[in-house]
Amino acid sequence: MEEYTHCKRLLFVDPARHERLSFTARDEPASSSCSQPEFHIDFRISCRARVSNWELNQDSQSPHLLGMSRLPTVKTVIRLNFDQYSNQECARQLIDEEIKSWPLWDDGRQYLINFMLDKAEEVIKSMPPSHNAVYLNIHVVPVHVYVFDEREAIRSAIEQSMEEGDQECMVPAADSVIESLESMKITLSLDDFGTCPVCLEEFPRDCEAVCMPCLHVFHGDCIKEWLRTSHYCPICRFEMPID
């Protein structure tokens, strides 16, 4: 049912962590032969994605949570020297190569790269002249929200049933079976209020509806009219007896 599942993605960056753990320093040369220490920026990045699954039922105006999980934390350190950082295209390519396998989408990955380079620029402009190293700690939380729209799936199933009914010689359900649905009427409770999948109109308060053997609920008139054309349930294709 992937075509009825919509995904919304959000990206959060922890500014408090960045402010608390990012700093500049003066690093000494790696060897005595180097007269001047090399300028560099260390991006210390961590990422822990969250995934939540929701369902929007046909009798509800808002989705309800099915489950939530967190993916394992991924970390990396990306070091850029002055030439690599000064060439913005090169810097972007180097960072993108390091995080391309992370649970980020294209726009989210580009946002993170922009954030990293912007923060680096801010720190470099304010760092003491004697410092030659920048250490930036950035924690990012990508959130993937998946919502399954049951209402859309039901509408599509009914439309497909109607199209198939137009293309094929549909066999109506047996009259005796249609009339026997009278014995399966149910009175809806407040929690069951929703819409009839055939006409998409609401079940009025204290009304009675017909429950098919497959447990799908319809207005009595709607499902009886349907079964006089096709012996299939318009939602799940459950077959009712024919003459």
Please state the domain count of the chain: 2
* Same-domain pairing of 122 and 17: yes
Question: Is 164 part of a structural domain of the chain?
Answer: no
Name all contacts of 96-102 with Cβ < 8 Å and 24+ positions apart.
99/45, 99/47, 102/47, 102/49, 102/74, 102/142
pLDDT tens digits along 107-152: 999 999 999 999 999 999 999 999 999 999 999 999 999 888 877 7
pLDDT tens digits along 152-165: 777 777 777 666 55
Question: Is 153 part of a structural domain of the chain?
Answer: no
Q: Residue 175: what residue type?
A: D
Global confidence as pTM = 0.62
* Same-domain pairing of 124 and 6: yes
Domain residue limits at 125: 2-148
Neighbours of 78 (CB within 10 A): 18
For the chain, state the CA radius of gyration. Answer: 30
Q: Which two tokens stand for residue 237?
A: 């294709």
The length of the chain in residues reads 243
* Coil vs helix vs strand at 165: helix
Residue with the bigger pLDDT between 219 and 33: it is: 219
CA distance 91 to 78: 10
